[in-house]
Structure 1
Amino acid sequence: MNRKKGGAAPVVPICHTISVVIPTRNEALVIGRCIKIILNAPHVVEVIVVDAGSQDKTRSIAEAAGAKVLLHNPCQGDGRGRGGQIRAGINEARADVVAIVHADTLVPPRTFTRMIRVLNARRLVIGGSAGCRFQIRSPGRAWQIRIKLIEFLNHVRAMVFGISFGDQVQFFRREPVFSRDLFPDIPLMEDVEFAIRMRSLGDLVYLNEKVVVSARRWETRGSGNALLVIALFFLYLIQRPWGQPDTTFFYERYYGKPPG
């Protein structure tokens, strides 16, 4: 993505195909529908499910739905957590573009078409995120307002600052990310770190698509989850200029257990 002398636009290949990487762990209830919708989309040539040792039928359901399934469950050292799963999927991907989708996410086929169109129309764009809307099951009015506020803050963060979360469907040109080994295999904050790293390669876009994401974690853990996410996010940004933050600590603080 380097510019030529004289400020000319870089020469980058046209994008035609998309690999979708889905990190999973015990997602049998949602993974099948997620994959089937994705495989109906134009440009998507493969879905790679990277599973962290599910104890349910996640892997067999994913294979039956048409995905390639990798088992990635390191017991110690680097590569634990979702960051390691996603990087393993990127290394396996072969398409021009990679999109990262969470298992509880439903991505409209047109979203993938927009990714290809934007990347081909704007050659300085390295990638970005698609956006999301939360699927709310709770009927409470107060809770619905809280979820909508979280959605709004997500939009602002991705649109204004270019820092997207994983549930906003991050996507990117595969070759420059793969050749520079740019995706971090850290257990938590991998999405934030990756968004920051992508900015060193080119421009980022935010599509603001109507991708549907389950609000199950927010509903299960309550409003305190939002405050915890915000606190960890800003703590990460504060610590980052002084070196790589201890993301194992972040994982343990968020999930209440060591990564593995």
Structure 2
Amino acid sequence: MPTISIIIPILNEADNLPHLFVHIIGLNPPPQQVILIDGGSNDESLALTQSLITDLRVIQQSDIDWQVIQSQAGRARQMNKGAALATGDVLLFLHADTKLPPQAITDIKTATQDKKWGRFDVRLDSPDWMLKRVSKMINLRSRLTGIATGDQAIFIKRDWFEQIGGYPDQALMEDVEISKRLKTIGKPACLTSQVITSARRWQQHGTCRTILLMWRLRFDYWRGVPADNIWQRYYR
């Protein structure tokens, strides 16, 4: 069975990091390795990550190979740097505010016996009926198009990741672009087990407004608008 390396880009995630560590430790079975890549946080993210890893090693509470490194800002650059240090047969790219199902490692090992890459279904962490509908639409769209989002915890066998040259070095839509490249050589495994991801952006900016924004940005990317321009509009 393949070994799994989890690669997590972080940026100003100090409030969330203790929860992230507890979550990863609770996976059964555990991954072989977890690499966290700090992209220049200006809070205590880097120091806290180093402290949490040290504590785990001192009390011998985890069989996981934990590592933390620094990188230039940019999620794609962070993930590529983490992938370069990973030792697993399969690379699982996880957002810091996304929680895997407890059996995620088993799900990935099973899926990658037949497929070279894939993703999970996603559920936004909100009881709001409209956000529940959004989650279902994201999953349906992903199945129909073969395109995954970063929130869906994309996993890729190392040889394919290297074959396509890793994540494209662009400011946004790196998940869409790598999905487009991967699906030209093989269909994704669309797992029905769910990851739970933060709904904070939807809640902060409004559900309808965020839906319309994402549709516009995806359409613009499809018609060739540069990723840097889309990034400016997304984070404006």
| Range of TM-score over shorter length | 0.7 to 0.9
Match of residue 128, structure 1, among 118, 126, 134: 118
Q: Which residue of 2 aligns with 1:112?
A: 105
- 1:161-240 mapped onto 2 (5 Å cutoff): 161-223=145-207, 224-239=209-224
**Where do 4+ consecutive residues of structure 1 move more than 3 Å?**
64-67
Q: Which residue of 2 aligns with 1:64?
A: 51
TM-score (norm 1): 0.80
How far has the Cα of 1:35 moved from its partner?
2.8
How far has the Cα of 1:210 moved from its partner?
2.3
The answer to whether the Cα contact below 8 Å between 1:129 and 1:171 also exists between their aligned partners in 2 is: yes
**TM-superposition CA deviations, 1:19-64 (whole Å, max 9, x none):** 1111111111112222332244325111111111111121222233
Q: Is 1:46 aligned to residue 33 of structure 2?
A: yes
CA distance in 2, matches of 1:35, 1:161: 33
Q: Which residue of 2 aligns with 1:255?
A: 235
Change (3 A) 1:228 1:186: same
Amino acid at match of 2:3: T
Amino acid at match of 2:184: S
TM-score (norm 2): 0.88
Provide the aligned length of Structure 1 versus Structure 2: 222
Q: Which moved more, 1:59-68 or 1:228-237?
A: 59-68
CA distance in 1, matches of 2:78, 2:103: 26
The answer to whether the Cα contact below 8 Å between 1:85 and 1:185 also exists between their aligned partners in 2 is: no
| Percent of residue pairs bearing the same amino acid type | 31
Instruction: Note the aligned Cα RMSD (angstroms).
Output: 1.7
Gapped regions of structure 1 (runs ≥ 5):
1-14, 74-79, 138-143, 240-244
Give the match's secondary structure for 1:212: strand
Give the match's secondary structure for 2:130: helix
Q: Which residue of 2 aligns with 1:6?
A: none
CA distance in 2, matches of 1:116, 1:178: 19
CA distance in 1, matches of 2:123, 2:158: 26
CA distance in 2, matches of 1:46, 1:189: 26
Give the match's secondary structure for 2:223: helix
Amino acid at match of 2:48: I
Gapped regions of structure 2 (runs ≥ 5):
54-65
CA distance in 2, matches of 1:175, 1:227: 37
Q: Which residue of 2 aligns with 1:9?
A: none
CA distance in 1, matches of 2:11, 2:111: 32
CA distance in 2, matches of 1:65, 1:33: 11
